[in-house]
Chain A
């Protein structure tokens, strides 16, 4: 009886917290086109990929970058992996574009648009919130 009461209390509290918090933001995950051979990427390699220092996957396929324009997932991904603010990231790629040394990553306003682009573009890689739908793409472990 006591166990049931404790369980019911815990369930109620959890439900209340979920109601207050709204949809969960679980943090960014790396998603890639299903044709990408890699299954995992080391954190320093993530930075090199998103700054264009690494431009091809190991099998020689060109890496195509897909980036969310703004939002907490973008902030977290840039801070934790790319080591730049979103504005610095944008400035970095503008330098590359107008000096001819690189191409601006594809930018998306929503995670659904980004996932759809990654799913249909060979070599594409991007990031989305773990909790958002990402069917049709491959999740790359970062470790």
Chain B
């Protein structure tokens, strides 16, 4: 609790300093500007709980963001954003610093961002928490998985960026970044990842406590091309990142001290987006090679040497998938869309027994902009397979149903 309060104090302090800095230089720069989002969602699924206790239904799905930014000089800008979120086990409405950095834009072709920066990944990773910029409630999980959010959300370090003009109608934007993965402990749904491993080892689910995560190095790059064909944008992103952590599982005989490490050797995504006045069509394809390792020491109560009971579990995660999406803007307040998303926990396995080797998601989405600062979205998902369904959210519920459904609705206020 103390660390949460400290983190909140630091975050508020950063925002205050930025606001004061902006005020101090208002005579030759710009006023600090504040924007925010408050959203509340509800999800309900038919056979399995997905991402949160969605079966029989949950309101444990919300976000609040508040940011302030200000130009300090003609080519330096500073800003920061606080976020609190809740998605089942993740977030728990702890206030965290979502991003905070100084941006020095030397010229259009070269700029530098230093601080905590959102990780460029695909078309929508940097705005994954911003409901107003998309049609759907849930981003396609085949690419924007919530389980890996903390490895891919933001990093502490630096990013070089710029826009290169190729012709009157085409340009190339780039990002090259280097830093440390920012892992916010409360945001990382570690129990969803670890508990199936623990259950595999010990045959039952155990409560996890005292988890401490630590981010490791991350580096990568992104290229985005605005093509001569008006409205067509192509992009590619790749990164390497790692994190580890340690926690405690309470057990009848004593306790376990799992040490977990995860290293994305590579994770890449190729993207295409085409927009006209009414239409948005997007396609993204991604693959990852992630090495995970769980070293588990059983510490029996009353015994001195736990080392004799250490177990190691290496796990090779080769997730991959793709989706295609289209939306149509009927008028200023109404938009319909659909996406078809395929996720493979192991992209080398394209067929298999049972339902766990894939998860198909056919979604139909609707967005209603009810006022300038308020929107409501609703969607239904026809799911096939359980490749992305977490066992720890479905204890005592054997995966016997291949086809299931999910309903989500979300209200978002913003300014």
Interface residues in chain A, defined as those with a beta carbon under 8 Å from any beta carbon in chain B = 42-44, 48, 53-56, 60-62, 64, 79, 83-85, 87-88, 91, 94-95, 97-101, 103-104, 123
Interface residues in chain B, defined as those with a beta carbon under 8 Å from any beta carbon in chain A = 29-30, 33, 35, 37, 65, 67, 69, 71, 73-75, 77, 79-81, 99, 101, 103, 105, 107-108, 113, 117-118, 126-127, 129-130, 132-133, 163, 165, 168-169, 171, 173, 230-231, 275, 277-278, 329, 332, 414
Pick the contact of B69: A54, A94, A100 (CB < 8 A).
A100
With A53-B108, A53-B171, A54-B108: A100-B129 Cβ-Cβ less than 8 Å: no
- Give 3 closest A-B pairs by Cβ, nearest first: A99-B126, A62-B74, A44-B168
A98 to B74, CA, bound (A): 21
Are B35 and A56 in contact, CB atoms less than 8 angstroms apart? no
With A64-B30, A83-B231, A98-B65: A103-B130 Cβ-Cβ less than 8 Å: no
In the complex, what residue of chain A is closest to B118 when comparing beta carbons? A99
A78 to B99, CA, bound (A): 30
* Chain B residues within 8 Å of A84, by CB: 275
A101 to B112, CA, bound (A): 11
* Chain B residues within 8 Å of A42, by CB: 168
A sample of 24 inter-chain contacts (CB < 8 A) reads: A43-B168, A53-B108, A53-B173, A56-B74, A56-B75, A60-B75, A61-B74, A83-B230, A83-B231, A84-B275, A85-B277, A85-B278, A91-B133, A94-B132, A94-B133, A94-B414, A95-B133, A98-B133, A99-B127, A99-B130, A100-B101, A103-B30, A103-B33, A103-B77
A29 CB, min distance to chain B CBs, angstroms: 21
Are A62 and B75 in contact, CB atoms less than 8 angstroms apart? yes
With A53-B171, A62-B71, A85-B277: A100-B118 Cβ-Cβ less than 8 Å: yes
Are A53 and B163 in contact, CB atoms less than 8 angstroms apart? yes
Are B332 and A98 in contact, CB atoms less than 8 angstroms apart? no
In the complex, what residue of chain A is closest to B101 when comparing beta carbons? A100
A83 to B228, CA, bound (A): 12
* Chain A residues within 8 Å of B80, by CB: 100
* Chain A residues within 8 Å of B165, by CB: 48
Pick the contact of B275: A43, A53, A88 (CB < 8 A).
A88
A55 to B126, CA, bound (A): 21
Are B99 and A100 in contact, CB atoms less than 8 angstroms apart? yes
A130 to B96, CA, bound (A): 48
A111 to B361, CA, bound (A): 47
Are B79 and A100 in contact, CB atoms less than 8 angstroms apart? yes
Chain B interface mostly: strand
* Chain A residues within 8 Å of B103, by CB: 100-101
A133 to B127, CA, bound (A): 39
Are A98 and B130 in contact, CB atoms less than 8 angstroms apart? yes
B178 CB, min distance to chain A CBs, angstroms: 18
A69 to B322, CA, bound (A): 37
* Chain A residues within 8 Å of B163, by CB: 48, 53
* Chain B residues within 8 Å of A44, by CB: 168-169
A53 to B226, CA, bound (A): 12
In the complex, what residue of chain B is closest to A121 when comparing beta carbons? B30
A48 to B173, CA, bound (A): 12
B277 CB, min distance to chain A CBs, angstroms: 5
Are A97 and B35 in contact, CB atoms less than 8 angstroms apart? yes
Are B230 and A98 in contact, CB atoms less than 8 angstroms apart? no
A42 to B167, CA, bound (A): 13
* Chain A residues within 8 Å of B65, by CB: 98
A115 to B133, CA, bound (A): 29
In the complex, what residue of chain B is closest to A97 when comparing beta carbons? B35
Besides A95-B130, A104-B35, 14 more A-B contacts (Cβ < 8 Å) are A53-B163, A53-B171, A54-B108, A56-B74, A62-B75, A79-B277, A83-B231, A85-B329, A98-B133, A100-B101, A100-B103, A100-B117, A103-B33, A103-B71
A65 CB, min distance to chain B CBs, angstroms: 11
* Chain A residues within 8 Å of B133, by CB: 91, 94-95, 98
Are A100 and B132 in contact, CB atoms less than 8 angstroms apart? no
B370 CB, min distance to chain A CBs, angstroms: 14
In the complex, what residue of chain B is closest to A59 when comparing beta carbons? B74
With A44-B169, A55-B108: A98-B75 Cβ-Cβ less than 8 Å: no
A99 to B119, CA, bound (A): 10
* Chain A residues within 8 Å of B99, by CB: 99-100
Are A100 and B81 in contact, CB atoms less than 8 angstroms apart? yes
Are B329 and A87 in contact, CB atoms less than 8 angstroms apart? yes
A143 CB, min distance to chain B CBs, angstroms: 13
A90 CB, min distance to chain B CBs, angstroms: 9
B144 CB, min distance to chain A CBs, angstroms: 14
